[in-house]
Amino acid sequence: MIYEFNGYIPVVHESAFVHPQATVTGNVIIGRKVYVGPGAAVRGDWGQIIIEDNCNVQENCTIHMFPGTTVLLKEMAHIGHGAIIHGATIGRNVMVGMNAVVMDRVEIGDECIVGALCFVRADEKIPPRSVVVGNPHKIVKEVSDEMVNWKTEGTQIYMQLPADCHATLKPCEPLREVPADRKVQEAGYQTWNERKSG
């Protein structure tokens, strides 16, 4: 659902896909090939939210802010299922893991990886290419070229998803039995643990 609020109408590029069960409100600008998943709340009622090209905001994420703040997701930011971004700037090609919380006025540098369930305290500035984990957060190492390549490949899958959703996603009635000829989906991408051990 897309909602006008206080005179602000969200701007969504035609190549982006906002799921009908997501909510985008007010002063929000969404760029090219952005994916916003079901259950996500992108709430630009008290400030501006800019989601640059090729980002993804996955299922049940919340993006919001204190009054007068701009939230910025730079190009290819990858916001994992259930994460909360509150008044922060997320750098280019960053991955924020599932159920992580990034607080007000945080600046996450380019090509960082923020682990699942991580809590990044308000006002922190995380240098580029940092691996950040824990609650409260802690920088544990630098992101390697191999990790950046792995993250970029994952985001490229999400960059294709808006076009696939526009082309094939539609309401339907469920089948009552599994068809004998049901296709098996290809893997095509490995977890980080599979990648580094392979």
pLDDT tens digits along 102-154? 999 999 999 999 999 999 999 999 999 999 999 999 999 999 999 999 999 99
Q: Is 171 left (phi over 0), alpha (psi -120 to 50) or beta?
A: beta
Pairing of strands 62-64, 78-79: unpaired
Measured CA to CA in angstroms, residue 62 lies from 43, 124, 146, 192 at distances of: 8, 19, 29, 25
Distance CA(133)–CA(94), nearest Å, equals: 14
pLDDT tens digits along 15-65? 999 999 999 999 999 999 999 999 999 999 999 999 999 999 999 999 999
**Environment class of residue 13 by beta-carbon count within 10 Å: exposed (0-12), middle (13-18) or buried (19+)?**
middle
**Cβ–Cβ < 8 Å for 87, 101:** no
